[in-house]
């Protein structure tokens, strides 16, 4: 890797701390016939560890300059497949067809510039991920983990909480990366919820969420002014709120109810 020119535009900050790499593995209970997906293997430092415990590892790496390094670093493993392509452009369902697995995982030190699109793609795939353990920018982790009433609570927080229990694992200093980024990081696990609340229409849920949080300083009456406000009030009242409430104060159940009943 000595002469490798890291591309900032691809979020190329590689983990150089073995202790952190080991700790990431400790967060994920990989078991049985397992398939682990990794986005952005980089030089393969996390991949290697995953391959030791998983039945199969499927990686997506956008930068084919890394092919030689990865071939060399991973030559002792026969359970790793690397697709050199943009993860966001792939059909994951097609890609994993060739693998037999009973448990599916995603473990990655994500390229931060596309954290949200990656998570959205994973959720939209409807694939049964048991556990998603990812390193993300600390600030983004705080948003994912936020509770109603907190400044960081936003539509993505609610969206994630619908599907997953979120677990903040640990903070990683910027000094653990090469090159050193400007921000600290967080390892977070998203653990599949067994019982999802009934949702009539997922697209509607997304729309109601986005609209509710549209203008941060405005209340629900303003942000949902294009909906039937009488109906909105009726639903809010069931949960002891009224139209002056702000989206950042509402828990998940209220958004689910709004989306099912509007
Ligand atoms: N896993 C390595 C590690 O922990 O040191 C590298 C992680 S680095 C933060 C992110 C990696 O994602 C880089 O290798 C980068 O080339 C890759 N990447 C960036 N955008 C990508 C995309 N759209 N699809 C697949 N890989 C991507």
Judgement on whether residues 141 and 218 belong to the same structural domain of the protein: no
141 lines ligand 1 (CB under 6 A): no
In a domain, 176, yes or no: yes
Whole-number pLDDT of residue 216: 85
Question: If you measure from the C-alpha of residue 74 to the centroid of ligand 1, how many angstroms do you get, rounded to a whole number?
Answer: 16
Q: Name the 3-class secondary structure at 3.
A: coil
13 CB within 6 A, ligand 1: yes
Give mean pLDDT in consecutive 10-residue pieces for the chain, a chain of 262 residues: 91 97 97 97 98 98 97 97 98 98 98 95 92 97 94 93 96 97 97 94 94 94 97 98 97 98 96
- Determine the pLDDT at residue 143: 93
Nearest CA to ligand 1 atom 2: 42
- Per the structure, the count of domains in the chain is 2
Same domain, 119 and 248: no
Measured in Å, residue 164 CA sits from the centre of ligand 1 at 24
**Are 154 and 228 in a shared domain?**
no
**Domain end call among 135, 169, 192:** 192
Domain that holds residue 251: 202-261
Residue nearest to atom 5 of ligand 1 (CA): 14
The CATH number covering residue 68 comes to 3.40.50.150
Tell me if the pTM is above 0.75: yes
> Which parts of the chain are beta strand (E)?
14-15, 34-39, 56-60, 80-83, 103-109, 129-137, 164-172, 177-178, 185-192
**pLDDT (0 to 100) of residue 124:** 87
Q: From its phi and psi, is residue 21 left (phi > 0), alpha (psi between -120 and 50) or beta?
A: alpha
* Domain C-terminal end among 159, 192, 225: 192
For CA atoms 90, 92, 97, 103, the dihedral sign is positive
């Amino acid at each position: 890797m000595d002469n490798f020119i890291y591309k900032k535009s691809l979020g190329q900050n590689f983990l150089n701390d073995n202790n952190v790499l080991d700790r990431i593995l400790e967060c994920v209970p990989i078991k049985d016939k397992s398939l682990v997906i990794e986005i952005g293997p980089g030089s393969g430092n996390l991949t290697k560890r995953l391959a030791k415990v998983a039945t199969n590892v499927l990686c997506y790496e956008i930068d084919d300059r890394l092919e030689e390094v990865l071939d060399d670093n991973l030559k002792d493993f026969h359970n790793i497949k690397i697709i050199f392509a943009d993860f966001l452009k792939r059909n994951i369902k097609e890609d994993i067809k060739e693998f037999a697995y009973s448990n599916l995982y995603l473990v990655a030190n994500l390229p931060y510039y596309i954290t949200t699109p990656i998570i959205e793609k994973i959720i939209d795939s409807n694939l049964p991920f048991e556990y998603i353990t990812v390193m993300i920018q600390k600030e983004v982790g705080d948003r994912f983990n936020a509770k109603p009433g907190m400044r960081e609570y936003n539509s993505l927080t609610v969206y994630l909480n619908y599907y997953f229990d979120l677990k903040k694992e640990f903070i990683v200093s910027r000094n653990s990366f090469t090159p050193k980024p400007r921000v600290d990081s967080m390892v977070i696990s998203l653990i599949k919820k067994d019982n999802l609340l009934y949702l009539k229409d997922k697209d509607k849920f997304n729309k109601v969420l986005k609209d509710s949080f549209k203008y941060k300083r405005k209340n629900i009456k303003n942000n949902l002014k294009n909906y039937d406000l009488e109906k909105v009030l009726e639903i809010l009242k069931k949960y002891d709120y009224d139209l002056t409430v702000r989206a950042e104060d509402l828990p998940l159940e209220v958004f689910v109810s709004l989306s099912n009943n509007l």
